[in-house]
Amino acid sequence: MSAEHGSAHCRNEQSTPSGSDGSGLIKREFVLSAETDESLSRLVQVLRGATRSRLTYSHVARAILIGIEHCMTTIAREASALGPMKLPSNAKGRDRDREAFERRLAGVLLFGIRSAPSLDVPSRTAEGSRIGQDCPTASLS
C-alpha cells in the first residue's frame, strides 16, 4: 500500500526517476507508526476541510516540503547542534528509543521553522481571511 492512501505499513522507500511515467513526479513510500499515520491523516482532513477540496496525501506532503525547503538554512543550523546520534533499531520493543530519537529531530525541525524568515505567499484568501492567523508559529505575510 502506498503513502498516498495513508498506510502505516509501506514496503520500502524508493523513488522512480523523474518523469519516467511522463508526469515529472517521483513516487516515494514511507513507513509510519500508527500515531504518525493518524497525525498525517488528521492534517490531510484539516486541510481538506479548510480548502473544501479533495486534497491527497501527496498534495499535503509536497506542501510540507515546500515549507521545509524554505526553512532549510535555519533547520540545518539547528541540526548542526545535535551532534552525533545513534540511529535506533526498528526491532520490536524499541519503540521508546525510536520515539525519543524522532522527537529530537522534530524539535530541531520546529525550532528551525520558527526561526526562518517569512514565506512569500499571498496574504489573503478569496474570503479575505488571513492565512496562518490561527497558527502562532506561522510567519506568513
pLDDT at residue 14 in the model: 47
- Residues 66, 67, 70, 75, CA torsion sign: negative
User: Is the CB of residue 2 less than 8 Å from the CB of residue 24?
Assistant: no
Tell whether 94 and 76 lie within a shared domain. yes
Instruction: Please tell me whether residues 60 and 2 are part of one structural domain.
Output: yes
Q: 89 lies in which domain range?
A: 71-120
Residues 2 and 54 in one domain: yes
Examine the domain organization and report whether 62 and 2 are in the same domain: yes
- Amino acid 123: pLDDT: 62
Considering the domain architecture, whether residues 87 and 63 belong to the same structural domain is answered as no
pTM of the model: 0.69
Instruction: Show the cell assigned to 16.
Output: 522512480
Are 28 and 5 in a shared domain? yes
Number of domains in the chain: 2
- The alpha-carbon radius of gyration of the chain (Å, integer) is 17
86 and 106 in a single domain? The answer is yes
Backbone torsions φ then ψ of 118, nearest 5 degrees = -60, 145
3-state per-residue secondary structure call for 39-86: HHHHHHHHHHHHHCCCCCHHHHHHHHHHHHHHCHHHHHHHHHCCCCCC
How many Å apart are CA 21 and CA 74, to the nearest integer? 35
The reply to whether 105 and 63 lie within a common domain is no
Task: Report how far residue 10's alpha carbon sits from residue 24's, in angstroms, rounded to the nearest whole number.
Answer: 22
Based on the fold, state whether residues 2 and 45 are members of the same structural domain. Answer: yes
Spatial distance between the Cα atoms of 134 and 125, rounded to a whole number of angstroms: 14
Residues 99 and 46 in one domain: no
Query: For each of the chain's 141 residues, which pLDDT tens digit applies?
Result: 344 444 444 344 444 455 556 688 999 999 999 999 999 999 999 999 999 999 999 999 999 999 999 999 999 999 999 999 999 998 889 999 999 999 999 999 999 999 999 888 776 555 555 555 444 444 443
